[in-house]
Amino acid sequence: MPFEPLDQYLQRKKKLAEVKALGDDPYPHKFEQTSTPAQIVAAHGQSDAATLESQRVNVHTAGRLLTLRLHGRAGFAHIRGDGARLQIYVKFDAVGERAFHLFQLLDLGDIVGISGHLFRTKTNELTVWVDALKLLSKALLPLPEKWHGLADVELRHRQRYLDLIVNSRVRQTFLRRAEILRGLRAFFDARGYVEVETPMMQTIAGGATARPFITRHNTFDLDLYLRIAPELYLKRLLVGGFDRVYEINRNFRNEGVSSEHNPEFTMLEFYQAYSDYRDLMTLTEELFASLAQRICGSAQITFGDVRLDFSCWQRLSMREAITQHWPVQAGPAPDTAHLAALGGPRAVATRYNQWLQNEAVRSSAASRGPLLEVSSMSDGEITGLLFETLAEHKLIQPTLLYDFPTDISPLAKCRPDDRSLVERFEVFVAGMELGNAFSELNDPEEQERRFRQQVARGGEEVPREVDLDYIRALSHGMPPAAGMGIGIDRLTMLFTDSHSIREVILFPLLRPQPDANQ
RNA sequence: AGGGGCGUAGCUCAGUGGCAGAGCAGCGGCCUUUUAAGCCGUUGGUCGUGGGUUCGACCCCCACCGCCCCUACCA
């Protein structure tokens, strides 16, 4: 079917017919490439004209035509393959009438195969002196503008293929994402972890609190949820005797989109038997430092206008974070003992709300933020909310935040000395939550009790029923273990200096356009 | 979901209450070492969509659609 711009589409169809009339197949099956443009540039980018002349390096290579400068009976062009640009020179005398005619029929965006030898032009650019030319694929649609490229963010995401052709930074970002995944696998493989895959379609969406997507299996006549976390299955594997497992794959959460959220996102989850969350704190610091080293060549990386140092971590309890980031204008900061006391968090939240209201009265302008709605919340939930409101986005340098309230951590083991807290920490960098880890609760009776509490409280983010098979698995005995989840998309944002999650997901979810098929 | 911003040629962008613009891409020429090639000529528009105000709307007003940013939910 013809696409816009129609005039150019039809023009290119006409050229395609002329190519066929020359006896050429515009879509041949293969082309023997001896080296890619990237390999040629890498191997000969430094060779001078005399060296190239004496060596006479012959190449067969291919790529997409990006620029074209015709000078009558000769012409220059750039092709790009494997991420690198290579100039080619096509001369009537060198290729003959028929091939030169084919050359004149080419459009920007066509994919061509060429053979010839390397030389340097007057301006000293490495160039292929073409002696044979073949069209490998006709492009019926034009490329975006060669100088400014494709800037419209929406178009870049909807037509990522164009973005990748035209914007080399985008290619670099996704190559780096792949390198991060390789680095993660290398890290865990080297430590004796087994990579596994667990169900993404589940009958009970557990392992996190989030609204799930629902889908349907026809033959079983069964509603299924797309998983919100692999956690409960990975821990079944701990029961089964895989003492170290990891999984890297998609989770699906039916929530809004933002620069830090996409409904499907990639998580790494790993579990390590006979360990607790302290071991994972150490492991986390090693992991981030080794990734930074592997990806950026240093433990320090640049993100926006800040320098992040992964060789130097801050460890902070949730209560300390609230105390430290309490707004000075709102009066004296609450101390951690106050936050730990029964009813303390509620009193602190009330004081915060009163300050907000006074502030709103004083300056008729917009208030500093919405009031905290804490009436139906427990102390632990309020503590979590206070942290998110006051401190989360201020944790820029790598931080391990620990001492989470038990009420917001149904899968974590309590601290032996304080049952209102669990052995859990989260990783914050650049104001983003990147990871979540804890000592895994393996007492089946306590786990069942906590699940039942959750279900009783209800809400769309909580499963409607208890995952009894998981409780049964725990009842067979799960070794003491620690586990962690790391958001790969956000991790990639950090290491590619990207400030929207949509820049690190090849095809982020966008609302379909009504005329998308026209 | 709420607030703010944006939407003009295939792409990148100007523009004004009074004939719709440029560069690139395209098309026709000239050109056998150019590189944002150049020179001459030229095609291309439902100005996001639908209403309204006006003698007249791309411009002002309203609604809707899409994207971006902030806030909320969330990782």
Which positions 179-238 on chain A have a beta carbon less than 7 angstroms from any atom of strand B? 208-210
Q: Compute chain A's Rg from CA coordinates.
A: 29
A13/B25 CA-to-C1' distance in Å: 16
Kindly give the pairing relationship between strand A74-81 and strand A84-91.
Answer: antiparallel
Q: What is the ipTM of this complex?
A: 0.89
pLDDT of residue A362: 58
pTM confidence score: 0.92
Q: What are phi and psi of A483, to 5 degrees?
A: -140, 160
Strand B nucleotides within a 7 Å radius of protein CB atoms:
1, 9-13, 23-27, 30-38, 43-44, 65-75
pLDDT in tens, A258-290: 889 999 999 999 999 999 999 999 999 999 999
A325/B62 CA-to-C1' distance in Å: 44
A247/B52 CA-to-C1' distance in Å: 58
- Nearest alpha carbon to residue A303 among A181, A434, A391: A434
pLDDT in tens, A292-341: 999 999 999 999 888 999 999 999 999 999 999 988 888 888 999 999 99
Asked if A379 contacts A343 with a C-beta cutoff of 8 angstroms, the reply is yes
Residue A464 CB lies within 7 Å of the nucleic strand B = no
User: Measuring CA to CA, how many Å separate A432 from each of A183, A208, A249?
Assistant: 21, 18, 20
Q: How confident is the model at residue A377 (pLDDT cuts 50, 70, 90)?
A: confident
Which nucleotide has its C1' atom closest to residue A436's CA?
A: B75
Span of A57-66, A77-86, A369-378 with lowest mean pLDDT: A369-378
Which nucleotide has its C1' atom closest to residue A490's CA?
A: B75
Q: Count Cα atoms within 13 angstroms, Cβ side, for A80.
A: 14
Q: How confident is the model at residue A404 (pLDDT cuts 50, 70, 90)?
A: very high
Span of A43-57, A89-103, A182-196, A381-395 with lowest mean pLDDT: A381-395
Q: Does residue A373 surpass a pLDDT of 90?
A: no
Interval A418-440 mean pLDDT: 94
